[in-house]
Amino acid sequence: MSLGSQGVVFLLVIALLATCARNSKARATFENGLKSTVYLSSKITLHPGSVSNKYYYDIEFPKGHIAIKSFNAEVVDEAGNPVSLQQTYLHHWIASRYYERVGSEDRNYNANPGFDQSDIIMARNAGLCDHVLGQFFGLGAETRKTSTHIPDPYGIEVGNPLEVPSGYEEKWMLNIHTIDTRSAVDGVGCTECRYHVILNGKSQP
């Protein structure tokens, strides 16, 4: 197999109450009163040993006051086939909700989250952690075959217009951290982010 660059795509499958959501841009299916919608991220290009850790703002997401029943993810190639963890290690992915000031500068991608900016307000989950783990969804390499289903009669409520601050609009952000482990001398060290570079023929941490 060639060890040149590879393109992978992050796939999101979101199941929500069908009566609440309307979205015509993504592929959707209806079953048992639920609407499942599939989204694809922008292409992620990796080279052997390279790392991608990007933040995607204002991602496609179901609109309206909805209840989410499950939120699943997968790394796939350009043909839609799952990519092996031995080839592209999914360190983590995080989906976070935020409020952006209406009329502020668009940010489809930025290496830095910029959560401290005045035009961004993070809409944290209702958990107990005040300063960390504010995301609504997120997993790592265990994503594959890990169920995120929320049993009836429950769901995660999002899109409530009463929660949106005046002058802001609700949006979603996705952080995807992937590592290309092809031809890595220390595959485990690579996935644990123990980086090494070669300087003057010597390995340096």
> pTM for the whole thing?
0.76
Compute the mean pLDDT over every residue in the chain, rounded to the nearest whole number: 76
CA-based nearest residue to 132, from 168, 100, 81, 96: 96
The domain spans of the chain are 6-204
Structure confidence by residue, pLDDT tens digits, 127-144? 666 666 667 788 888 888
Amino acid at 89: Y
CA-based nearest residue to 15, from 141, 185, 147, 190: 147
Structure confidence by residue, pLDDT tens digits, 58-106? 988 888 898 888 888 888 888 888 888 888 888 888 888 899 999 887 6
Helix (H, G, I), strand (E, B) or coil at 187: helix
